[in-house]
Structure 1
Amino acid sequence: MLKYDLHMHTIYSRDGAIKPADAIRIAKKRGLDGIAITDHDTIRGGLEALKLKTEGLDIIVGAEIKTDRGDVIGLFLNEEIRERDHMEVIDAIRSQGGVAVVPHPFDSMRGSAFWLTDKDSGKMDAIEVINARCVLKRSNRMAGIYADDYKVGKVGGSDAHFGAEIANAGTLVPESEDIAKAISGGRTTAFGRCSMPLFHVFTTALLVERRVVKPKKSR
């Protein structure tokens, strides 16, 4: 089986600290066969990584898009997605020949979670059943139960914002299969462990440093 980390953020995300070249270097060092760079609302990080023409590591261009229902990841993209309605985003991903994935669908700690219902089971190609940044174990557990109940493809990703998180979780892909077809056909499995919750603190500090959020005043 090939090992892919299908969810990570670079400096092209407002809360990412990894340079695309460093993401590649770390992924190779940790024995991954491929990565998907999925920056918030842009494919710029993935495109930069692709230009590096790295040998021995498959690079997938992706993006994590904020929609009216919650985050949706598009994999195998070649154009930016401007839509924000969740069905329009999924349609835009597929129009590029891409794969639509719902990340961290039941994470009650994130306002960006896409809380799936029984009516959503046919909308996406796969859901993230292991996200290494989910603080509560039940979030990943609920995703796994949903995938089993509704026969939806399973993937995993580190959701790395810092290099130390890369490969903490990922996706196992049969060696003989095209990865996109394997994902959409439900023939992938997820692996991994949760990252330290401290990384969320580091992310907040990074956002404060970049003046994306205001620091809380001490009383």
Structure 2
Amino acid sequence: MVEFKRSSADGRDRLMEINPRLWGSLDLSIAAGVDFPHIAVTGTTRRSVPAATAAPTSFLWVLPDALMFLLARPARLLALCRLLLSPRVKTNVAFDDLKPLLLQVREMLYWAKTLLRRRRLQYPHGRPGQPDGFAFDLHIHSSRSYDSVSSVKRILRQAVRLKLSAIAVTDHESIEGGKRARALNDHPDLTVIVGTEIKTEIGDVIGLFLEEPIQSRLAADVIREIKAQGGLVMLPHPFSYGVKEYDEGLIKELDLIEIRNSRNRVEQVDKVLHYAERYQLAMVGNSDAHFVSEIGSTHTVAPCPTLSPGSPEALKALLRSGSGRVVQSKTPSFRYAMSQTVKAFKKRRYGDVWFYGWWAVKSIIKDVVMRPLSP
């Protein structure tokens, strides 16, 4: 193939490339009336090459181009159907010979299967290594949360498999998931902390080491209730929900602050460092897992304590010490969309199920196809 591009400035043709092999856009050439494979074979077997004249042709690649376009812009479905039904538009789908189409479908399925086997969906930025110290993830949701479907038993199995030393089950406005996890935990090297995540006027506030539900919904009252139970107060995904600053009186009452969160797309690391240094807050990294596969994607590893943290007070002291280092891996965006779909379904907002479900499908396509192709 010898390819030219005509300049709009002077109308002259510019040479772009000379390609000795058959190319991906060969369908367009054949549809326009220039059958290059036939010409090549004829030129090899005969002395004369038949003349060929190209005619202006509109051509559409249904697989995979049109499919990818439709997934990115579903509102253009009607326009795409008009193109497919137009007699002036030719496509790479030939119903008189379905073998090329079936081969292309098989190739796409094999491609997707290969990418899934490489687990690029789960941790596109790289799976964190096995902990080499006292590793903990203090922000995990079970099916008791309205946006999670993770059973407590599967959470415990995953934590043991990842060799985490401690986890906190922090369901939205509930401690039942944490209590059940603690009751079912029979692994000697895993400690389960009962917690909850409460939505307040300054965003979410997490309480750890709880025994009773938190009734308040104002931040100051929530912190007061947590402290009354002897628990620790943690500020998750800070500066989200449009929060720019926090009241100094509330910040002074915190014990922990999240500097890394697998699901938080906009992390204000500099602000968190400033608050942590000014108010002597221990910084931690957590997964904010809503699905079992997210557990431990971000966690904190502290030096192995000299005393076994079997008692709550010893574990609290270890967490307050701020001696850990954060190991982080971001959660793929489609998992956030999936948890929002679960939330809409559980709250019976079925109109939102379609919206978030389609968002999840587009995000999966983006993570499966676009990310591996990006440099």
8 Å CA contact retained: 1:155, 1:188: yes
For the residue of structure 2 that corresponds to 1:66, the secondary structure is: strand
Partner of 2:156: 24
Contact residue 220 and residue 250 of structure 2 kept, 8 A: no
Give the Cα separation in 2 of the matches to 1:22 and 1:16.
13
Which residue number in structure 2 is paired with residue 167 of structure 1? 296
Deviations 1:48-104 (A, max 9, x none): 111113212110000001123221100111111101121111111111111000000
Q: CA deviation at 1:156?
A: 1.5
Could you tell me which residue of structure 2 aligns to residue 102 of structure 1?
Answer: 235
Aligned to 2:215: 82
Overall identity of the aligned pairs, in %: 32
> Deviations for 1:149-199, whole angstroms, at most 9, x for unmatched residues?
433111121000011110011122342262211223433443212111111
- The residue aligned with 2:86 is none
How many positions carry a matched residue from both structures?
214
Name the structure where helix makes up a greater proportion of residues: 2
* Alpha carbons 1:74, 1:98 under 8 Å: kept: yes
Contact 1:105 1:115 in 2 (8 A): no
**1:10-89 paired onto structure 2 within 5 Å:** 10-55=142-187, 56-89=189-222
Q: Which of 331, 343, 354 is matched with 1:195 structurally?
A: 331
Counterpart CA distance in 2 for 1:114 and 1:198 is 27
Aligned residue in 1 for 2:279: 150
Q: Which has the larger radius of gyration?
A: 2
The higher-RCO structure (CA 8 Å, 6+ apart) is: 1
Counterpart among 208, 211, 219 of residue 344 in structure 2: 208
Letter in 1 for 2:316: A
Name which of structure 1's ranges 202-211 and 1-10 shifts more when overlaid on structure 2.
Answer: 202-211
Q: 1:71 to 1:151 in 2, by over 3 A?
A: same
Task: Provide closer, same or farther for how the CA distance between residues 70 and 26 of structure 1 changes in structure 2, counting only shifts above 3 A.
Answer: same
Taking the aligned partners of 2:236 and 2:288, their CA distance within structure 1 comes to 9
Q: Match of 2:140, SS?
A: coil
Report the alpha carbon displacement of residue 45 of structure 1 after superposing the two structures with TM: 0.3
Structure 2: unaligned runs, 5 residues or longer: 1-132, 308-313, 356-375
Separation in structure 2 between the aligned mates of residue 174 and residue 76 of structure 1, nearest angstrom: 21
Report the counterpart of residue 119 of structure 2 in structure 1: none
Q: CA 1:166–1:141 in structure 2 vs 1: closer, same or farther (change >3 Å)?
A: farther
SS of equivalent to 1:82? coil
Corresponding position of 2:94 = none
Which one of the candidate residues 117, 134, 138 is aligned to 1:6?
138
What letter is aligned with 1:168? S
Change (3 A) 1:140 1:72: same
Contact map agreement 1:106 1:140 (CA 8 A) in 2 = no
- Normalising by structure 1, report the TM-score: 0.88
TM-score using structure 2 length: 0.53
C-alpha contact 1:169 1:193 (8 A) present in aligned 2: yes
How far residue 41 of structure 1 moved from its aligned partner, in angstroms, is 0.6
Give, as a single letter, the amino acid of the residue that structure 1 aligns with 2:215. R
Distance in structure 1 (CA, Å) of the matches to 2:262 and 2:270: 12
List gaps (5 residues or longer) in structure 1: none
